[in-house]
Amino acid sequence: MTRPAAIEDPLAPWVRFAKRADTANLILLCFHHAGGGASTYRQWPGPLGKAGIDVWPVQLPGRESRFLEPLESDLAALTATLADVVGAELAGRPYAVYGHSAGAYVACAFALRMIASRSHAPAHVFVGASRPPSRPDPDSPIHLLPRERLLHKLRSYGGLPEELSAFPEMIEMALDITRGDLRLIETASWPAEPWLACPVTAVGGVDDGTVPPAVLPRWRDITTGPFAHRPLPGGHFLTPRSEELLIEVIRDALG
């Protein structure tokens, strides 16, 4: 008996862990932090799917299932490819984007590309734990920091657990991927004027010392549309509780 050929996913390898439903009202594309991967959002399709929101976690090259691929170094080229692949599958359907930390910049760049190349603006842009372009990190460009300073910086974000020190090769791998992701966003340029007209919501931890809550309201500068700022408990990275609250924020804003 001949086994039927597998149906190739047109979103592969760019989107993982999605549970696509034809009945979804909206698609939410999620962009991971520097050094992270699509697995960050693997639990989101369940709770948001119940609200009619399809979650598409984006997987950039150079990590997890795409570990053997080179890291991207040009944000414009990356988002052009993403707009081609994802844009074809969106087919005019409503969508929103969420990006965490460095992923906020990738999310915004993707939205810009979709507007420019396909005249397909997002319904909402969510940015989390990220400084707005008008308020860069004092240590920027972080990707050019020497190894020890970069390591210290990443530990201040809470992104490198101390127990990882027992595995030097994993530390070096994490540094290389994170440095590459930071290069991707820190070498990009942004319009001086607001480039969006859709609602924007900025979220961040009240105890995040690397992205002070006071800078988050400046994300309003990127849009002429409505703006909201929602503080979350915790620091730079999501805890189970802050993740639960963030999902509520997204569900309520898109409902």
Catalytic residues: 101
Separation of alpha carbons 255 and 249, rounded Å: 10
Alpha carbons 29 and 56: distance in angstroms, whole number? 5
SS (H, E, C) 91-160: CCCCEEEEEECHHHHHHHHHHHHHHHHHCCCCCEEEEECCCCCCCCCCCCCHHHCCHHHHHHHHHHHCCC
Q: Where are the beta strands (DSSP E) in the chain?
A: 26-31, 53-57, 95-100, 124-128, 200-205, 227-232
First-to-final CA distance of the chain? 47
Helices 147-157 and 168-186, packing angle to 10 deg? 90
